[in-house]
Amino acid sequence: MAQIFHRSANFIARASLLGVAVLAGAALTTVLVLARSPYITNQNVTRTQPIQFSHKHHAGDDGIDCRYCHTSVETSAYAGIPPTKTCMNCHSVLFNNVGYLEPVRESFRSDESIRWNKVHRLADYVYFNHSIHINKGIGCSSCHGSVNQMPLILQASPLNMNWCLECHRNPQQNLRPKDQIFNMDWKAPANQEQVGRQLAAEYKLRTTAELTSCSTCHR
């Protein structure tokens, strides 16, 4: 009676057994990697904005303080996106006729807001509060990166929960002196671990258990 299978079938059979295992592994890895990739986190993805506003120019070159525009960053959960009025404070005089600022002037005339595309986007069920981080020695650049180097603002950190927890579990790695909060170029000193602990004590930081309680961020 004729053979049903060619001899190679033996090899194929064995190979496919192995293949299944490998594939399954690969699939799982892909998912896990994808979840951490910019495709999902939007890390380092620049968006086109109605006005090509350059933080590099304003915060970096002109050295305007963050708080000039983001007024409520020290007092409120929201840092605050400046109203058109704030732009016009300067641009009613400076560059007051260049074309690329027309949308600003238009907004001011027509009383219609400028629609910016959101860059840093947390899930709705995360209740992040800027002011407390600022007040407890977390600098802007710790999360937002060196904004003063960004022609177009982009999200410097993955902003996923794991990333949040890294700091909430041991904050000392990111704590800075109060006067360094708004310094975009701040670099952690060599003895940050030790400095951080001192600052943590100074700022009366809450215990890790408290900082990692679910209700700290979720309600």
Partner 1 sequence: MDAMSDHEHDKQLPILQGPPAAKPALEAGHDHDQEEEIVDDTLREHRLELSTVREKLKDKSGKQYWRTLEELSEDPHFEELLHREFPRHASEWDDAVDRRDFLKLMGASLALAGLAGCGRPDEAHIVPYVKQPDGMVLGKPNYYATAMPFGADAVGVLVESHEGRPTKIEGNPDHPSSMGATSAMVQASILNLYDPDRAQTVLQGGEIRAWSTFLDSAQEAATGVKAAGGAGFRILTGAVTSPTLASQLRKLLALYPQAKWHQWEPAVSEGGREGAKLAFGRVVNTVYVPGKADVILSLDSDFLASGPGHISYAKQWARRRKLESTSDSMNRLYVVEPTPTVTGSSADHRLPMRACDVELFARALAAKLGRGNAVSLPADAEKWLNIVAADLQKAHGSSLVVAGEQQSATVHALAHAINAALGNVGTTVYYTEPVEAEPVNQLESLRDLCADMDAGKVDLLLILGGNPVYDAPHDFDFVTKLKKVHTSVHLSPYFDETSAYCQWHVSESHYLESWSDARAYDGTASIVQPLISPLYYTKSAHDLVAAFSDKPGQPPYDAVRAYWTEASTKLGTAIDAGWRKWLNDGVIPGTKLPAITPELKFNPANLPAPTAMPATEVEYIFRPDPTVYDGRFANNGWLQELPKPVTKLTWDNAALVSPKFAQKNDLAHKVVSRGGEHGQIRSTVVDIELNGSKVTAATWTTPGQAENTVVLHLGYGRTRAGFTGTNKGFNAYAVRTSSAMWSASGGKMTATGDGYSLACTQYHFNMEGRQILSTATLEEYKKNPAFPHEGHEEVAKDDSLYKAFAYPNYAWGMAIDLNKCNGCNACVVACQSENNIPVVGKDQVMRGREMHWIRIDRYYTHTPGFADGGTGDPTEYNAALDNPQTFFQPVPCMQCENAPCEQVCPVGATTHSAEGLNDMVYNRCVGTRYCSNNCPYKVRRFNFLRFQDWETPQLKLLRNPEVTVRSRGVMEKCTYCVQRINNARIDAEKQNRPIRDGEIVTACESACPTEAIAFGNINDPNSKVAKLKAQQRHYTLLGELNSRPRTTYLGAVRNPNAELEKA
Partner 2 sequence: MSSVTQNLPSGHEPEPWIEPGHTYASVTDKISSVVLTRPLGIGWLAGFAFLFGIVMVLNLAIGYLIVKGTGIWGINIPIGWGFAIVNFVWWIGIGHAGTLISAILYLLNQKWRTSINRFAEAMTLFAVACAGLFPLIHTGRPWMAYYMFPYPSTMGIWPQFRSPLIWDVFAVSTYGTVSLLFWFVGLLPDLATLRDRAKIGWQQKIFGMLSMGWRGSARHWHRYQSAYLLLAGLATPLVLSVHTVVSFDFAVGIVPGWHTTIFPPYFVAGAIYSGFAMVLTLAIPMRKAYGLEGFITLRHLEQMAKVMLATGLIVAYGYFIEFFMAFYSGNKFDVFLAKQRLHGPYAPFYYALILCNILTPQLLWFKKVRRNIAALFVMSLIINTGMWLERFVIVVISLTRDFMPSAWGRYSATVWDYATFVGTLGLFTMLIFLFVRGLPAIAISEMRELVHQDSHGNEGHS
**By the rule CB under 8 A, 165 interacts with partner 2:** yes
| CA dihedral for 79, 64, 97, 50, sign (positive or negative) | negative
**By the rule CB under 8 A, 35 interacts with partner 2:** yes
Q: Give the total residue count for the chain.
A: 219
Query: Among residues 54, 8, 40, which one has the least CA distance to residue 154?
Result: 54
**By the rule CB under 8 A, 206 interacts with partner 1:** yes
Where in 31-70 is the site for partner 1 (CB under 8 A)? 40, 47
Alpha-carbon dihedral angle through residues 133, 173, 195, 144, given to the nearest 10 degrees: -50
Closest separation in Å from C-beta 138 to partner 2: 18
**By the rule CB under 8 A, 114 interacts with partner 1:** yes
Options 8-16, 21-29, 170-178, 204-212: segment touching partner 1 (CB under 8 A):
204-212
**By the rule CB under 8 A, 166 interacts with partner 2:** yes
Whole-angstrom distance, CA of residue 3 vs CA of residue 7:
9
- Partnered with residue 138 across adjacent β-strands are 175
Please classify residue 103 by burial: count the beta carbons closer than 10 Å to its beta carbon, then call 0-12 exposed, 13-18 middle and 19+ buried: middle
Q: Which does 121 bind (CB under 5 to 8 A by kind): partner 2, partner 1, none?
A: partner 1
Whole-angstrom distance, CA of residue 80 vs CA of residue 78:
5
**By the rule CB under 8 A, 26 interacts with partner 2:** no
Nearer Cβ to partner 1, position 74 or 186? 74
* C-alpha dist (Å) from residue 125 to 33, 69, 166, 218, 219: 24, 26, 19, 6, 7
**By the rule CB under 8 A, 198 interacts with partner 1:** no
Running DSSP on this structure, what letter comes out for residue 130? H
Closest separation in Å from C-beta 41 to partner 1: 10
Interface residues toward partner 1, by CB under 8 A: 40, 47, 72, 75-78, 80-85, 107-108, 111-118, 121, 123-125, 127, 129, 131-132, 135-136, 203-204, 206-207, 209-210, 213-216, 218-219
> Given the rule CB under 8 A, which residues bind partner 2?
4-5, 9-10, 13, 28, 32, 35-36, 158, 160-162, 165-166
